[in-house]
Structure 1
Amino acid sequence: MVRYADPGALEWVESGGGPLIAVPETVLPFWAGADGEETASDYDRACEVDGVVGLLPVGDSAALVLGDEPASTAYLPEHGAFVRWCAANSEDELLSGVPAALATADWENEVRWEVPGAVVLFDSAWPGSETGRTDCLKVPLQPGSYAVRAANVQPGPETWLGLVQLRRLG
């Protein structure tokens, strides 16, 4: 059994201050980030997402914006969830609270996300074509529809985390 805090067992993605975004790998070249010649860049559109999660059109698909705050984020495939590090004394402490947090979370309204396959999580300020030069995480998702729900949870007195759970729809 792999423990989350084992070296290399879990990758965290950080932002320079704006939202993180999960863009389907097939449409990465269409995400311009903070670059672009239009008055509102893709990054500006991501910053305008109101709430913990939201969807933005990218190419012929949609990207999932992880809004609210620019917390370090990892993906836990066994829970089908992004976990966002808001406050904790250690990675072990944060991640040990995930199962209870999933069970007791007060979830916000779900959004439906159509995914063509794997997505890449990264700082929304970066162009999709430049993800090789920044922190990013490839998340291998099966093509299809997903219900996405989010919550902020306090599983311990000094531990706060955000959850964004993806549930594949039949």
Structure 2
Amino acid sequence: MVRYAEPGAAEWVESGGGPLIAVPETVLPFWAGADGDETASDYDRACEVDGYVGLLPVGDSVALVLGDEPASTTYLPDRGVFVRWSAAESEEQLLAEVPAALDAAVWGPEVAWNVPGPVLLFDAAWPGTDSLRTDHVWIALDPGRYAVRAAHVRPGPETWLGLVQLRPLAHG
């Protein structure tokens, strides 16, 4: 597989061509990926997500699908945002544009995501039980409800990126 995001300041996840998925750690064994005898695999369900983000039931929880394009993706915990690399000369350039991108973003509709705790981001084609043997990022999320919204931003003439922001929602 060609790697667009070389190792650097952030840990990047890439896919073989399909969506990435953030699955709660507690339900990883229930994500079958492209495996399975069913008519539609979990991976097929993830591919049906229309737009930048979608939610899919997994076990007794819900996973977040990062749709649209199979862009290299990282998570910036200090900003609560997934950054999806569409175009940039370097990782340094892309990450330097994130603050401007967040300020300029025209966000799509929000979805509410209930998270039982940490999640693992990986290629949706992989079964959850095999995800630790491939590109993945472990994301330490506190249990709770999050507002998820997405945008595609061009903060510079040569820099395009996708943003998927997680914001904790108040209890109640």
Structure 2 length normalisation: TM-score? Answer: 0.94
Unaligned segments of structure 2, at least 5 residues: 1-6
Q: 2: distance between equivalents of 1:132 and 1:143?
A: 21
Q: Quote how far apart the aligned CAs of 1:146 are.
A: 0.0
Corresponding residue of 2:123: 123
Q: 2: distance between equivalents of 1:47 and 1:136?
A: 18
Corresponding residue of 1:77: 77
Give the SS at the match of 1:101: helix
Q: 1: distance between equivalents of 2:49 and 2:135?
A: 22
2:55 maps to 1:55: yes
The count of aligned residue pairs is 165
Corresponding residue of 2:66: 66
Q: 2: distance between equivalents of 1:9 and 1:164?
A: 19
Q: Does the 8 Å CA contact 2:8/2:91 hold for their aligned counterparts?
A: no
Structure 1 length normalisation: TM-score? Answer: 0.95
Cα-to-partner distance string for 1:36-70 (whole Å, 9 max, x where unaligned) = 01000000000000110000000000000000000
Give the SS at the match of 2:14: coil
Corresponding residue of 1:33: 33
State the Cα RMSD in Å.
1.1
Cα-to-partner distance string for 1:58-83 (whole Å, 9 max, x where unaligned) = 00000000000000000001100000
Q: 2: distance between equivalents of 1:18 and 1:8?
A: 24
Q: 1: distance between equivalents of 2:8 and 2:133?
A: 19
Q: Quote how far apart the aligned CAs of 1:8 are.
A: 5.3
Corresponding residue of 2:111: 111
Q: Does the 8 Å CA contact 2:116/2:143 hold for their aligned counterparts?
A: yes
Corresponding residue of 1:4: none
2:99 maps to 1:99: yes
Give, as a single letter, the amino acid of the residue that structure 1 aligns with 2:29. Answer: P
Corresponding residue of 2:3: none
Corresponding residue of 1:146: 146
Give the SS at the match of 1:162: strand
Corresponding residue of 1:157: 157
Give the SS at the match of 2:34: coil
Give the SS at the match of 1:92: helix
